[in-house]
Every structure is written in structure tokens, then in C-alpha cells.
């Protein structure tokens, strides 16, 4: 689908003046021939007619010429619209209005699945359910969160969350107001601290092979006083916890009041199934890696399907997608070109046809049929899939990692430096904006 959308463009996306393709060229020629034939015939006919007629005939001729002119120009206009600008083609539209620099093309390479609706400003999921919060709420949240973030105990959270996802997690936890928060993957405890800022009195359960207190010996870390740690020698994987027992012990009866945060780099298909089996309904995944990237099979990869706008990919080396990707790779660290995207037999899904798990320690090939079935399954159990947008455009944050062409439009758009500054974002170090990987909130439907 992407291939089809991209092929409808006359020029490549960055304004390189490619020659029109031969098919596009012949299409233009065909219109010209047709138009010339009509005007030639009409003028022959008219010249014959005027010789032997009077004033009335002259008026008829003028009217006829006028109609011909209107018809001709509308033919030209509509054929241009058809070839160059398809109605939903964000990128072509952006170029049409003159915004063709690399920084202002959010979603230009397609953003799979529901996020596409967000690009169109609908903010709805497949089933018509939508998150309750609006972009205004996100802006308000940002204003409140920046001073909180500045007080974080772990200033340099390399390998953990940066600003965008810290804000996303804080915002969602505060909005959903769960009775219990569970995190899988704590590292030094930054995400535990974020959850605590959102909900000061709510109990947390944290699962992580290494206890965050271990990091305290070497530098800043966060250990929470109202958190039950299944960590260190007490570590249990999320899929092996006796959740009914643990939740009962904490007095939690309503599973729809529990928020789970996964930042453990495990196959997200596996994690959704485990959560579904227990009956949890609100999940946030920190690392929602794009197709062809990352160390575990992610929701975004699962949702990347040919029948979804912006989904499915062409491994054809001479395609528009290949050209765009190779150019974007020069600008964005996480952009992948067609060589990286596609494995043997043109397998583009997952990571080159592999379903990664556990920080890529497990790496199994997956057939397209299985991959497709996974997406259908996910689709069947979800009410909401919502990707956190990046907090601000790259011209403001100077981030160089994620490719805007595969991300939804940011909360603070490029060019809005005044707002960026007013929100206090200009005070933060650029490095905190480099960790965005499409954090996603899933709401599982009531089963």
C-alpha cells in the first residue's frame, strides 16, 4: 500500500527532481494528445462554420470555445491532482505546501495501525474507542511534569527512559489513577520513581533480576518505600508470578484498576498473552520498536501489516520506499534502509523475518502467516492502542535518533520554540530527548 501511495508521486520526497517515470510521462503525453486532438478538430470545425454564418454563429462559437477552455483546464487540473497528490498522502501534501525539509515530515513513511488515525487528528482506535486525554491535556501535563523531572534522583539514566517516555508514563499513570502499579524491568529505579511521582500513595510491585539497591553502591539509584520488589534473589518473571495470590495479598480485587508497565525487553506478544490470561487490562510498553529494529518483537512490529495504512513494506531495491529510506538513514540513527529492513526471501516483518525476545538472546524465524495471525489476534482483543507522540519536534530537541517519518506528530511541533521554552523544555539537556521509541498504551477489551 505504501508502495502504491509513494509511486503516485511525480518527484521523490526530498525534492530531488527525478525525471517522471516512463508510465507517468506517457500518462501526461496521453492527456496532451487527447487535448490537442479535440482542440484541433474543434478549430477546424469552427473555422468552416464561421465562414458562412453571421453574428449569432459567432456568439455560439465564443460560448463553445469558453466551454472547451473550462473543460480543458479542469482535465489538466484533475490529472495533476491524481498523479501528484493523493488525498491522504501526508508527505505529498506537505511538499505541495512547501514543507519538504527532513524535520517536518512526521509520519511521512507511514505509521502503522491506529496511530494513522492520530495523524489525521481523529485520535480514535479501530473500534472507535479513544483515549480520554487530548493534546491540550498532554500540553498541560508537560508544563507540570518538567519541574518534577528536574528533581529526578538519577540524572543520567543511560539504558533507561529519557524525558519523552518518563513524561508518557507519568501522564498515563496519573490519568488512569490505578489502585496498583506493576513494573517489569526496573534497572536503577528511574521508572519506579516516575510512577511514584504520578501516584504518591499507590502500591507498586517491581520485578527485575537485579535489585535497584545494588546500583546504590555505585551511584544514584531509587528504591521505593511502598514497593514490593520481586528482585535479586526474589526475582520472578512476570509470566511466572502467582498473580491472584499476590493481588489478593494486596487487597486488589478489580484487575481493571491495575496498570502494568513493561520495560523488560521481552517479546510483547508473549507479555500481552500473559497479561490477558490473568485479566489485566491496562498495559504500557516502553520500547515499542519499529519494524526492522530493536531486541524484541514489539506491538508496533506486530501491527505492521500490508493492509494497514503505512504498514507492510516493499523490499524492491528500486522502489520509492528504498530511495526514501536510504536517504533518511543518513539523518536519523534509527532509520533503517531497505538492506537492513529486509532479510532472506524479502522478509521485512519483525526484524528481517525474526521474532526477537529477551534482549535478542532468543531469535526465532517467524513466517508471514504467523506474524499476520499475531496482528489479527492483537486486533481482536484491544479496545485502544495509543502511541505517545514525541514531546517536541527535532528542530527543538536536537534529537537525532528516531526517524520522524515513522513517528506521530509531536506534542510541541517544530517551529514552536516559544512554547518549547515556556514549558521549560529548553532547559533540559538535549540527550534526554534521544530515547523515544513509540511508547504505547494498550487497553484490553473486557473479555
Ligand X SMILES: C[S@@+](CC[C@H](N)C(=O)[O-])C[C@H]1O[C@@H](n2cnc3c(N)ncnc32)[C@H](O)[C@@H]1O
Binding site for ligand X (CB under 6 A): 157, 159-161, 184-188, 190-191, 207-210, 237-238, 263-266
Rank residues 439 and 444 by Cβ distance to ligand X and give the closer one. Answer: 439
Nearer to ligand X, 239 or 343 (CB): 239
| Closest CB to ligand X among residues 157, 375 | 157
- Which residues are CB-contacts of 143 (< 8 A; sequence separation ≥ 6)? 422, 423, 424
Nearest approach, Cβ of 252 to ligand X (angstroms)? 20
- Considering the complex, state which of residue 62 and residue 158 has its C-beta at the smaller distance from ligand X: 158
**Smallest distance, ligand X to C-beta of residue 166, A:** 7
- Closer residue to ligand X in complex, CB, 185/404: 185
Q: Whole-number minimum distance, CB 231 to ligand X, in Å? A: 9
In the complex, the smallest distance separating the C-beta of residue 146 from ligand X, rounded to whole angstroms, is: 18
State the nearest-atom distance from the C-beta of 203 to ligand X, in Å. 18
Nearer to ligand X (CB atom), residue 115 or residue 266: 266
In terms of CB distance, is 164 or 403 closer to ligand X? 164
Report the alpha-carbon angle 256-382-109, nearest 5.
Answer: 130
Q: Which residue is nearest to ligand X (CB)?
A: 160
Minimal distance in Å, beta carbon 273 to ligand X?
Answer: 15
Amino acid at each position: 500500500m505504501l508502495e502504491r501511495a509513494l509511486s503516485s508521486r511525480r518527484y521523490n520526497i526530498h525534492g530531488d527532481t527525478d525525471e517522471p517515470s516512463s508510465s507517468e510521462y506517457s500518462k501526461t503525453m496521453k492527456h496532451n494528445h487527447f487535448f490537442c486532438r479535440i482542440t484541433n478538430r474543434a478549430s477546424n470545425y469552427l473555422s468552416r462554420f464561421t465562414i458562412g454564418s453571421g453574428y449569432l454563429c459567432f456568439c455560439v462559437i465564443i460560448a463553445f470555445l469558453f466551454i472547451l477552455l473550462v473543460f480543458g483546464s479542469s482535465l489538466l487540473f484533475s490529472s495533476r491532482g491524481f498523479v501528484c497528490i493523493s488525498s491522504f498522502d501526508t508527505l505529498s501534501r506537505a511538499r505541495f505546501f512547501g514543507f519538504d525539509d527532513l524535520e517536518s515530515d512526521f509520519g511521512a513513511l507511514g505509521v502503522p495501525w491506529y496511530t494513522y488515525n492520530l495523524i489525521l487528528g481523529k485520535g480514535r482506535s479501530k473500534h472507535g474507542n479513544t483515549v480520554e486525554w487530548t493534546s491540550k491535556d498532554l500540553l498541560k501535563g508537560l508544563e507540570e511534569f518538567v519541574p518534577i523531572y528536574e528533581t529526578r534522583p538519577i540524572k543520567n539514566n543511560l539504558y533507561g527512559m529519557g524525558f519523552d517516555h518518563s513524561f508518557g508514563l507519568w501522564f498515563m499513570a496519573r490519568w488512569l489513577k490505578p489502585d496498583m502499579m506493576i513494573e517489569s524491568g526496573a534497572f536503577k529505579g528511574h521508572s519506579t520513581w516516575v510512577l511514584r511521582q504520578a501516584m504518591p500513595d499507590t502500591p507498586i510491585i517491581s520485578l527485575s533480576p537485579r535489585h535497584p539497591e545494588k546500583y546504590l553502591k555505585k551511584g544514584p539509584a531509587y528504591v521505593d518505600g511502598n514497593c514490593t520488589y520481586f528482585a535479586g534473589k526474589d526475582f520472578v518473571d512476570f509470566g511466572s508470578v502467582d498473580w491472584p495470590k499476590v493481588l489478593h495479598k494486596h487487597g486488589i480485587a478489580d484487575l481493571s484498576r491495575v496498570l502494568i508497565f513493561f520495560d523488560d525487553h521481552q517479546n510483547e506478544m508473549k507479555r500481552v498473552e500473559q497479561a490477558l490470561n490473568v485479566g489485566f487490562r491496562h498495559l504500557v510498553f516502553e520500547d515499542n520498536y519499529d519494524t526492522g529494529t530493536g531486541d524484541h518483537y514489539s506491538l508496533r512490529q506486530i501491527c505492521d501489516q500490508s493492509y494497514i495504512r503505512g504498514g507492510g513494506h516493499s523490499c524492491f531495491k528500486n522502489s520509492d520506499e528504498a530511495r526514501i529510506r536510504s536517504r533518511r538513514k543518513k539523518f536519523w540513527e534509527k532509520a533503517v534502509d531497505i538492506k537492513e529492513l529486509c532479510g532472506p526471501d524479502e522478509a521485512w516483518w519483525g526484524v528481517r523475518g525474526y521474532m526477537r525476545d529477551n534482549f535478542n538472546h532468543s531469535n526465532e524465524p517467524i513466517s508471514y502467516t504467523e506474524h499476520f495471525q499475531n496482528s489479527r489476534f492483537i486486533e481482536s482483543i484491544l479496545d485502544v492502542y495509543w502511541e505517545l507522540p514525541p514531546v517536541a519536534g527535532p528542530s527543538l530537541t536536537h534529537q537525532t535518533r528516531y526517524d520522524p517519518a515513522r513517528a506521530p506528530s509531536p506534542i510541541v511541533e517544530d517551529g514552536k520554540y516559544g512554547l518549547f521554552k515556556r514549558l521549560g523544555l529548553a532547559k533540559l539537556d538535549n540527550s534526554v530527548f534521544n530515547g523515544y521509541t513509540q511508547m504505547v498504551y494498550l487497553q484490553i477489551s473486557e473479555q
